[in-house]
Structure formats: structure tokens, C-alpha cells
Structure 1
Amino acid sequence: MAAVYKLSSLCRRGVHPLLYQSALLARPAAVPQKRKEPPCLLTARIHSSQALYGGADSKAASLHWTAERVLSIALLAMGPVAYYSPGPVIDYSLAAALTLHGHWGIDQVLTDYVHGDTKVKMAKAGLFLLSTVTFAGLCYFNYNDVGICKAVALLWSK
């Protein structure tokens, strides 16, 4: 540990270790530190939504965030309603709300972890296909079987 500390203190002073100049290494053993920006400038750049999203996109992002929260609260309200008065209206509402909630959640995971234009387009297309099949399957289940509410009640009764 002391050797690493000693090596890093030498690099900060501008002295380059001998291994740093070797052509046999794929990566240098020590890299001189770059000059850091003051923290106030960095936080100002992070928190400026105009620079990151622009004017119109910022409004759309805010509306999307609000819609996600409204849907989450609506899902919380649909639970007791589905328990006390199951029916086709709540079944189809649950199918739409659960599919949309899952779509938005997985979309955020893809946004965070998938990089590259081609990969992002393929992942988004796959997610759209998955969400479409999910919604169609839930609607098919509601129309041709007992429905989501009664299916959950049957699972709980056994």
C-alpha cells in the first residue's frame, strides 16, 4: 500500500515512472492525473436541465415523470377495487396499467444499461414487442378466461 501511495505522489509531482514509458505494456502502470474542475462548476453543469435536455424536451420529461407517478398511484388504488368489485372494466384497466408500468420500468433499465445506437434500437424494438405481446396476452386472458381479478382470487383461495 505504501508503494502505491509513493508512486501516486510521484505522479502528482510530474515525475513519470520508468514502466510508464515502456512500449511492452498494454496500459500504463501509472497515469498522471488530469486537472479537476472545481466542485461548484461540476454541480452547476449537472443540475442545469436546460443544457442537458433543452427547452421542449425538459417539459416532455417532466410530463413523463408525472405520468409515471400517476400510474403508480392508480395501480395502488386498483388493488382494493379489484378485490372488492372484480369485473371486466377493472380487468382490462389492470391489463393496460400493468403493461404500461412494466414497459416504462424496463425502458428505464435499458436507458441506463444499453449503450450504442444499434443496441439501443434493437432493445427498444424488443421491449415494444414484449409489451405488445404482454398486453395482447392479458386481454386474451380477460376475454377467454376468468380475468385477472378472479384468477388472483383463485390463486389465493387454494
Structure 2
Amino acid sequence: YFIPCTAVLLCHTHLSRGLVAYQKNRDIEPFHLAAGRIHTTSAHSVSSSRAASKHWTGERVLSIVLLGMAPAAYLCPSPLLDYSIAAALTLHGHWGIGQVLTDYVHGDAKVKLAKAGVLLLSTATFFGLCYFNYHDVGLCKAVTMLWQI
């Protein structure tokens, strides 16, 4: 039977093997082999796949909710909306930076340190926005004041 070329190339067994590429070496020989590795994610269980699907759906729902909060914040600013925006923006940023870490940070120790840093940054961001909402004019009024300048 026929197997599409991309299916053969993207098969998990092929991705977990060493990557071999040709690199030109001008001094000694025309070409030599340079070995490397492709970073792949580990196999996930079915429950993990469901959780990932729900997480993806949650990210999309949050993005749509944020789009609705923008005009609502301008039309009817309120403390409830200020705190809701603070929570939504913090969660949106936390998930986004988490995806960047997943893509670019490798190694157990580095991943743990990076995740701890993101959690600390997200916590500080949320409490900073809440402090601003409580002790100052709030996010909705602050953005309105910026647009009036």
C-alpha cells in the first residue's frame, strides 16, 4: 500500500532519532556529517490529550472574552470589570509565556526554573493589577485617561 511521504517523515520513530545534516567544511573535505537531535514531546495518555484539548479550548474562550471586555470597559467601567480584566489578562499572559517556554526551554532543571519564574511573574502581575485597581482609578478608567491625552 501507499504511505504518504509526510507521514513517513513525521512518524514518532523518525523524529526521536538523531538528525543528520550535511555541513560544508571548506578546509578538509567538501562535506562531512554533523549530528544533532530533534526535541520531541513525550507520548501523552488519553486523559492528558483531553486535558490538552480543554486547555486549548479554554485559551480560545479567554481570548474571545477579552475581546468582549474591551468595549465593555470603555462603555461601562466598574470595579468588577477592572478585577475581571486583571484576572483575564494575567491568565492570558501566563498561558502565552508558558507556550513559549514549552517551545524554547529544554532540560528538566531549566524547565522547572522557568516555570517557577513564570508563576512568580504572573502572581506579581495579578497582585500589582489588583493593587492598582484598589488604590488608584482602576484599569478601565486608566485606559480611558490614556486615550484622552
Structures share a fold, TM > 0.5? yes
Q: Which residue of 2 aligns with 1:41?
A: 8
Tell me, what secondary structure is at the counterpart of 1:115? Answer: coil
Which 5+ residue runs of structure 2 have no aligned equivalent? Answer: 14-41
In angstroms, what is the RMSD of aligned CA positions? 1.6
What is the deviation of 1:100?
0.2
Residue among 113, 119, 127 paired with 1:128: 119
Aligned residue-pair number: 117
Deviation string, structure 1 residues 3-52 (Cα, Å, up to 9, x no partner): xxxxxxxxxxxxxxxxxxxxxxxxxxxxxxxxxxx543344549xxxx83
Partner Cα distance (1:155, 1:40) in 2: 52
Q: Is residue 118 of structure 2 the alignment partner of residue 151 of structure 1?
A: no
What is the deviation of 1:54?
1.7
Partner Cα distance (2:113, 2:106) in 1: 11
Which 5+ residue runs of structure 1 have no aligned equivalent? Answer: 1-37
Q: Which residue of 1 aligns with 2:81?
A: 90
Query: Which structure has the larger Rg?
Result: 1
Instruction: Please tell me the residue identity of whatever aligns with 1:56.
Output: S
Residue among 55, 64, 70 paired with 2:46: 55
Percent of aligned pairs with the same amino acid: 65
Structure with the higher strand share, 1 or 2: 2
Structure with the higher helix share, 1 or 2: 1
Normalization by structure 1: what TM-score? 0.70
Instruction: Please tell me the residue identity of whatever aligns with 1:123.
Output: A
